[in-house]
Amino acid sequence: MHELDEHQWHDLLLRLRRFALGLTRHAASADDLVQATVERALSRRSQQRDPEQLRAWLFTIQYRLFLDGKRRERLHARWLAWFGRSEAEHDGPADEPQASVLAQADLRAFARLPSEQRALLLLVSVEGLSYKEAAQALDIPIGTVMSRLSRARAALRDLTEDAPRPPALRRLK
């Protein structure tokens, strides 16, 4: 893999975690996803051809692992339903401090977006990837990136325009 100094690796891992947290919406799941991403990248480092594209390559791995996990979850839910058990019978992880942040109106709206739109907004707006890099990371055409990003921004605007603002976010008069 590309030679990075300790500071660059730390920054890259923070970016991967932030992206994972945006996808999974749960800190422990995000950490698991980052770990799986790094493991996959290390085991397949010979496939990474362009050192300049390391960041996009890692985001690609992470997003694909996330999608694979979602597919497994749906399959698991079908199997549970088949055997007469529901997902409601299984308790999820306890709420963490980050859950209080998700209670804010804008973040709730963001969480309501489809995962494809969340991923694009995170990669382009938060992580600073170019449209081309985001297209490579998500393995979609650049035109699809542009149209999905436009729809994601419009959907987020629609969800947040008329939503009541939490008291801390209201302007003082």
What pLDDT is recorded for position 124?
87
pLDDT at residue 97 greater than cutoff 50: no
Rounded-to-integer distance, Cα 121 and Cα 109, Å: 13
Instruction: List the domains of the chain with CATH numbers.
Output: 6-164 (1.20.140.160)
pTM: 0.56
163 or 106, greater pLDDT? 106
Digit-coded pLDDT (tens) for 26-58: 999 999 999 999 999 999 988 887 778 899 999
Question: Above 90 in pLDDT, residue 19?
Answer: yes
pLDDT average, residue stretch 59-80:
83
CB-facing half-sphere around the CA of 68: CA atoms within 13 A: 9
Distances (CA, A) of 25 to 9, 55, 125: 23, 21, 17
Let me know if 139 is exposed, middle or buried by CB neighbors in 10 A (0-12, 13-18, 19+). Answer: exposed
What is the distance between the alpha carbons of residues 154 and 122, in angstroms, rounded to a whole number?
Answer: 15
